[in-house]
């Protein structure tokens, strides 16, 4: 080794979309507690606070080493006073009292359980909490009025809170591919969301579908859904039509972060084979029952419920849709913030608008979008902010 080697300073960029964030990093012992506080802030609808904790955590995920002392953090962006206090406590004591009391709190646990029901958001969960409800079982016992999504969510609660494996995602990919190819030959289907970023498990499986012939993809979703329903593969589905086509202002900036693609939030019935559900998972329609109670589990029924999101995009918007649906959610948020604050541009899952030039910037690939934004290209596997 050279005599006077200096540790090079780490240059940590401010926006998560300027950095590479791998899936596996060195500081989970800090990021997980910070993300508990972020989640708790979401439960109290304190978005600003939640984002602050998530940004802090994301910076630590991008560090190439384990944090051991506070002075290693002094040149890092995004670390607010509160986050630093939590980090300091963990470095000194091994845990943070605030995080641990949050984890143990009745409110946090109830909100976690209630928002864990598919179809239940923070608002509804909070109302139920204030009415004294604590768990999905309480919803049944007190005879709460539930919409169709929530009914499916309660019915398949355990399955939907069991992480989806990559293997299961691959089986579902095959099914979705068969469905789409059957109703629109030549269509293109890609896996998006966490699995595209290299995650080993997910809370759902996300797909984006398009067709090289612009317009061929219109009203595609009902056909896909019909095909899947005929095969008995769906336990639940809610299709939303493309509101982008119909908006009279054309492709102006969508009002919120929600995009307007034709989409389907669904629950698949994934058939699992008898002997080894780990190595031989297969989906089919043999089982016609629609409950996933324990009785059935033990009486030889071999399927489980899996959340699947399907999105259809016109070919001209496919690059934007791909970027927008690959995540992570924080990475997406940071991309939009970068576009707006640093570039005077407006990015959505449909388009990129340049306010200075007053025109839309076209793109045929994610690489081109990063280039338009003046950003170094970050591949999906390093968007795990």
The DSSP 8-state label assigned to residue 16 in this structure reads: G
**Residue holding tokens 């690939």?**
365
Name the residue nearer to Mn ion (CB basis): 190 or 371: 190
Q: Which of residues 73-132 bind ligand CTP (CB under 6 A)?
A: none
Q: Which of 72, 89, 309, 382 binds Mn ion (CB under 5 A)?
A: 309
Does 382 engage in binding with Mn ion (CB under 5 A)?
no
Does 168 engage in binding with ligand CTP (CB under 6 A)?
no
- Determine contact, residues 224/177, Cβ cutoff 8 Å: no
Does the active-site annotation cover 309? yes
Contacts of 90 (CB under 8 A, 6+ apart): 29, 30, 33, 96, 99
- Determine contact, residues 122/45, Cβ cutoff 8 Å: yes
Stretch of 9-17, 113-121, 192-200, 268-276 lying at the interface with ligand CTP (CB under 6 A): 192-200
CB of 258 to Mn ion, least distance (A): 13
Structure tokens at 23: 């899936």
Instruction: Give the one entry of ligand CTP, Mn ion, none that residue 328 binds, where binding means its C-beta sits below a cut-off of 5 to 8 angstroms depending on kind.
Output: ligand CTP
State how far the Cα of 270 lies from the Cα of 349, in Å rounded to an integer: 29
Backbone angles phi, psi at 346, to 5 degrees: -125, 115
Does 202 engage in binding with ligand CTP (CB under 6 A)?
yes
Stretch of 45-53, 109-117, 119-127, 198-206 lying at the interface with ligand CTP (CB under 6 A): 198-206
Q: What are the C-alpha distances in Å from 63 to residues 7, 12, 54, 300?
A: 14, 8, 15, 48
Structure tokens at 156: 């398949």
Pairing of strands 262-271, 303-312: antiparallel
Which helix (H) or strand (E) segment holds residue 38: the answer is helix 28-43
Instruction: Give the one entry of Mn ion, ligand CTP, none that residue 199 binds, where binding means its C-beta sits below a cut-off of 5 to 8 angstroms depending on kind.
Output: ligand CTP
CB of 159 to ligand CTP, least distance (A): 15
Pairing of strands 352-354, 359-360: antiparallel
CB of 6 to ligand CTP, least distance (A): 38
Per-position x/- string for 203-242, each x denoting binding to Mn ion as judged by CB under 5 A, each - no binding = -x-x------------------------------------
Backbone angles phi, psi at 269, to 5 degrees: -100, 105
Stretch of 57-65, 212-220, 232-240, 362-370 lying at the interface with Mn ion (CB under 5 A): 57-65
Please give the angle made by the CA atoms of 102, 104 and 109, to the nearest 5 degrees.
85
State how far the Cα of 233 lies from the Cα of 49, in Å rounded to an integer: 41
Stretch of 130-138, 140-148, 202-210, 366-374 lying at the interface with Mn ion (CB under 5 A): 202-210
Closest chain position to Mn ion (CB): 193
Q: Which of residues 294-333 bind ligand CTP (CB under 6 A)?
A: 309, 324-329, 332
CB of 334 to Mn ion, least distance (A): 18
Could you please report the per-residue DSSP string of 210-232? E-SSTTTTTTHHHHHHHHHHHTT
Give SS3 for 126: helix
Per-position x/- string for 243-272, each x denoting binding to ligand CTP as judged by CB under 6 A, each - no binding = ---------------xx-------------
Name the residue nearer to Mn ion (CB basis): 35 or 206: 206
Q: Which of residues 174-193 bind Mn ion (CB under 5 A)?
A: 193
Contacts of 115 (CB under 8 A, 6+ apart): 43, 121, 122, 125
Name the residue nearer to ligand CTP (CB basis): 31 or 349: 349
Residue among 126, 206, 259, 292 flagged as catalytic: 206
Residue among 126, 204, 259, 292 flagged as catalytic: 204
Please give the angle made by the CA atoms of 369, 367 and 168, to the nearest 5 degrees.
105
Name the residue nearer to Mn ion (CB basis): 25 or 55: 25
Which helix (H) or strand (E) segment holds residue 116: the answer is none
Name the residue nearer to Mn ion (CB basis): 309 or 342: 309
- The closest of 348, 265, 268, 343 to 309, measured between CA atoms, is 265
Residues of this chain that bind Mn ion (CB under 5 A): 64, 193-194, 202, 204, 206, 309
Residues of this chain that bind ligand CTP (CB under 6 A): 193-194, 199, 202-204, 206, 258-259, 309, 324-329, 332, 349
Q: Which residues are catalytically annotated?
A: 204, 206, 309
């Amino acid at each position: 080794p050279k005599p006077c080697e200096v540790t090079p300073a780490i240059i940590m960029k401010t926006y998560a979309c300027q950095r590479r964030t791998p899936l596996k990093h060195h500081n989970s012992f800090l990021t997980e507690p910070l993300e508990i506080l972020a989640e708790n802030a979401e439960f109290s609808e304190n978005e600003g606070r939640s984002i602050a904790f998530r940004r802090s955590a994301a910076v630590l995920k991008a560090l190439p080493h384990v944090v051991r002392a506070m002075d290693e953090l002094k040149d890092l962006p995004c670390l607010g006073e509160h986050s630093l206090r939590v980090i300091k406590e963990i470095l000194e004591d091994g845990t943070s009292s605030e995080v641990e009391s949050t984890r143990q709190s009745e409110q946090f646990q109830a909100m976690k359980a209630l928002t864990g029901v598919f179809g239940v958001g923070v608002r509804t969960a909070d109302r139920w909490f204030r009415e004294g409800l604590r768990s999905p079982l309480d919803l049944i016992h007190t005879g709460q009025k539930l919409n169709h999504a929530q009914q499916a969510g309660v019915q398949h609660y355990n399955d939907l809170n069991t992480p989806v494996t990559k293997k299961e995602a691959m089986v579902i990919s095959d099914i979705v591919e068969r469905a789409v190819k059957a109703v629109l030959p030549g269509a293109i289907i890609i896996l998006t969301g966490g699995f595209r970023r290299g995650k080993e498990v997910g809370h759902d499986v996300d797909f984006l579908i398009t067709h090289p012939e612009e317009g061929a993809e219109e009203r595609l979703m009902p056909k896909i859904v019909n095909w899947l329903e005929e095969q008995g593969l769906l336990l639940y589905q809610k299709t939303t039509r493309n509101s982008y086509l119909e908006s009279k202002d054309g492709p102006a900036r969508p009002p919120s972060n929600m995009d307007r693609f034709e989409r389907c939030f669904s629950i698949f019935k994934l058939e699992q084979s008898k002997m080894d559900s780990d190595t031989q998972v297969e989906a089919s329609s043999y089982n016609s029952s629609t409950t996933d109670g324990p009785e059935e589990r033990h009486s030889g029924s071999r399927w489980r419920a899996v959340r699947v999101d399907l999105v259809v995009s016109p070919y001209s918007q496919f690059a934007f849709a791909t970027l927008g649906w690959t995540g992570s959610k924080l990475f997406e948020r940071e991309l939009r913030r970068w576009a707006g604050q640093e570039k005077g541009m407006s990015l959505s899952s449909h388009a990129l608008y340049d306010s200075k030039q007053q025109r839309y910037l076209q793109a045929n690939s994610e690489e081109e979008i990063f280039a338009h934004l003046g950003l170094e290209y970050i591949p999906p596997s390093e968007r795990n902010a």
